Amino acid sequence: MTATPEAIAALRCPVCHGALALDGRVLGCVEGHRVDLARQGYATLSSGAIRHPGDTPAMLDARTVVQDAGVQSAITRALVEAVPADARMVVDLGAGTGHHLAAVVDADPARHGIAVDSAKPAGKRAARAHDRVFAVVADVTGELPLGDGVADVVLCVFAPRNGPEIARVLRPGGRLLVVTPTPDHLAELVGPLDLLTVDADKRERLEAGLSDLRLAGHAPVRDSVTVDHGLARSIVAMGPNAFHLTPEEIAERIAGLPDPLTVTVAVDVTTFTP
C-alpha cells in the first residue's frame, strides 16, 4: 500500500469535513484532528460508531480462497470493462479484500483507488491489494470520509449502500456500479444446502434505495465454475451464511454433494449516475 497524493486529496476529516494531509504516518486537518495510520497501512476515518460490523477474519480468509481460485473472475472482468477509460479515482465501498478494486486500478497506470470497509480485518487486507489503493476503515452506511465530487467511479459489490453519500462523492458525469446476486446465483449450493436466498424484489429495493441517483444501465453477468468440496466450503463461509452456520455444519451439508460440481455465478451489474 502507498498513500498516494491522489488518494489523500480525495479524503476529508470525519470530524470537521476539512481536507486531510499526510505527515509521515499521521493524517491531519487544519483544525487539529489527527489519525495515525495503522501498522498495516490503513486509516480508520469513521465519524462515529460503525453500525455495520463487516466480515470476520475467517470470512475474509474464505473470500481470498474463492477469489484466488477465479470463482469471481467474470464479475471482476465485468467491472473492469464497465469503468470508463478516463476514470482516475475509483472508490470501492465494502471493498473486503480489495480484489475487484485492485483489478480495476491495475487496468490503467494513471488510475488510483480508495478501498472503504467497515471491518478492520478488511482494511488490513485491502491495504495490501495494490500499490495505488489506499484502505480506509469507516461505516459504509454512514458519512463517508471523502470530499464532494472526488470519485469518477464508485463500486459496490455485494455490500450495503448509502445513496445520498454516494451521490455526494461522485463527480458530475461519474458512475456507480452495483453488483447484486440474482435468485439463481450459486443455486447448486443454495438449494441443496438450504442456504439464505435472494429476495425476488431485490432489484426494486436497490433502485428505491438509490433515489438520489439515476438508473443508467443494467447488465447480467453469468458464468459456470467447477469447484471441489473444499472450494465449496469457502464459497459458503465467505458470505452471510457464515453468521448462521458453523464450519462443521457447512462441511457436513457439503459432504452429500457431488465432488466436484458445477456452480452458477449469476449477478447483475447496475449502473447509476448523479
> Tens digits of per-residue pLDDT, 219-252?
999 999 999 999 999 999 999 888 888 999 999 9
Looking at residue 14, which CATH number applies to its domain?
3.40.50.150
**What domain count does the chain have?**
1
**Residue 9 covered by a domain:** yes
Q: Between 53 and 225, name the one with better pLDDT.
A: 225
Show the domain range for 75: 5-55+65-179+199-221+267-273
> Has residue 161 been placed in a domain?
yes
DSSP type of residue 12:
B
Within 13 Å of residue 209, how many CA atoms lie on the same side as its CB? 13
Residue 194 — very low, low, confident or very high, per pLDDT cuts 50/70/90? confident
| Alpha-carbon distance values, 32 to 11, 20, 136, 195, 266 (Å) | 15, 10, 20, 49, 48
CA 72 from centre of chain: 13
Question: How many whole angstroms from its chain centre is CA 32?
Answer: 31
* Mean pLDDT of the region 80-109: 98
What is the spatial distance between Cα 20 and Cα 29, in angstroms, rounded to a whole number? 5
Q: How far apart are CA 126 and CA 98, in angstroms?
A: 5
Within a domain: 211? yes
Report yes or no on 215 lying in a domain: yes
96 in a domain, yes or no?
yes
**Domain-embedded: residue 103:** yes
The answer as to whether 190 is a domain residue is: no
Q: Is residue 235 part of a domain?
A: no
The reported pTM is: 0.95
